[in-house]
Amino acid sequence: MRRRSLTVLMALSLLFVSACGDKPDLEGPVDEDLTVIGMCQVGAESDWRVANSESMKAIFTEENGYHLLFDDARQKQENQITAIRKFIQQQVDYIVLMPISEAGWDSVLQEAKEAGIPVILVDRRVDVEDQSLYAAHVGSDFLREGQRAATWIEQAFQEAEKPVRIIHIQGTLGSTAQLGRTAALEEALAAHENWELLVRLDGDFTQAKTYEVMTQYLSSLPGRGEIDVVYCENDNIAFGALQALEEQGYTCGRQGVNIITFDATRGALTECLNGRISLAVECNPLLGPLVEEVIQTMEAGRTPEKHHYVEEQIFTTENLSAALLERRNY
Ligand code: GZL
Ligand code: ZN
């Protein structure tokens, strides 16, 4: 039913648009049998994000029975909200949303609910009153990721009396990944009186922003600072921190400044293998198959589990090898 009206709607709008001579911004009429997915991606801020988008595009193909409308919000929530409203007008079958931050979704998700379009959350989460505003969530447990990193710091710095001096560089403020990874470090700082937070910087999950704020901070120190750990909330932050630290003459690795990172994309695992990064906590971006499982459950008229978590592990120089790196697909 929805698909037919979508085809008519698209055909009529093509007629209207071509009548006005503007370039039609809609793809051609959609084959009746395809499940139409309106997908709302954050942007392309990190290696993780690029791998996440590729995982989705590899699953939601016409051969697999889908018509994918993919929107890149370029890091702006208002672009995500505009895209959701467009998908509602186009009467897509499902909306798949990777929310940039947790706040500000109640009204637009209410509009999707009133239009009878199920919303599936991917990766980060939304903070809404009414949990029925989304059918399911597929992603990672970010608090658990951070707790794994904190446990590693405990084991790496056994001497309880020696100070552990930590720089904390956060990801996009208000995103679930930042909130979870930050909460884990905060609970560990509270539990270890010999751990000292030197500074907390906002790296916004990008290498450029981190390089800028880290260089600024290191240059403000009277001399070479005593830094034991830099807790980077994603790989691109770690790359920016590495660049700034080494430019200022610091040695990174188990004998110097211990870089901890999250995502464990190929670039970070390479630095872990060569010893510049001490710990890489995996955050699996390949969520396409899990999202498809949820959609197939709903297509079969069943109710999906509310939350689906992906399997993740940690990497250090001890458990990495070039062969393992070869086998990784992101
Ligand atoms: C985590 C995801 C984060 C990644 C960053 O699931 O939300 O956003 O850790 C990405 O690389 O930018
Ligand atoms: Zn402890």
Q: Kindly report, residue by residue over 165-207, the tens digit of the pLDDT.
A: 999 999 999 999 999 999 999 999 999 999 999 999 999 999 9
Report the pLDDT value the prediction gives residue 12, as an integer from 0 to 100: 54
The one-letter code for the residue type at 133 is L
CA of 155 from ligand 2 middle (Å) equals 8
- C-alpha span between 322 and 164 (Å, rounded): 31
- C-alpha span between 74 and 33 (Å, rounded): 31
Across all residues in the chain, what is the average pLDDT?
92
- C-alpha span between 86 and 260 (Å, rounded): 40
Shortest-distance atom of ligand 1 to CA 123:
6
Whether 281 lines ligand 1, by a CB cut-off of 6 Å, is no
Helix (H) or strand (E) holding 87: helix 77-89
Q: Which ligand neighbours the alpha carbon of 157 most closely?
A: 2
Helix (H) or strand (E) holding 309: strand 307-309
DSSP string across 95-153: EEE--SSSSS-HHHHHHHHHTT--EEEESS----S-GGG-SEEEE--HHHHHHHHHHHH
Shortest-distance atom of ligand 1 to CA 176:
7
Whether 152 lines ligand 1, by a CB cut-off of 6 Å, is no
Helix (H) or strand (E) holding 271: helix 266-273
Crossing angle between the packed helical segments 47-59 and 235-247, to the nearest 10 degrees: 150
46, 207, 239, 312: residue to mutate for ligand 1 pocket, most atoms within 8 A of CB: 46
Distances (CA, A) of 289 to 63, 99, 138, 166, 265: 15, 19, 10, 37, 19
- For the chain, which residues score pLDDT lower than 70? 1-28
Whether 37 lines ligand 1, by a CB cut-off of 6 Å, is no
Q: What is the pLDDT of residues 34-89, one digit of tens each?
A: 999 999 999 999 999 999 999 999 999 999 999 999 999 999 999 999 999 999 99
Whether 48 lines ligand 1, by a CB cut-off of 6 Å, is yes
- C-alpha span between 64 and 31 (Å, rounded): 13
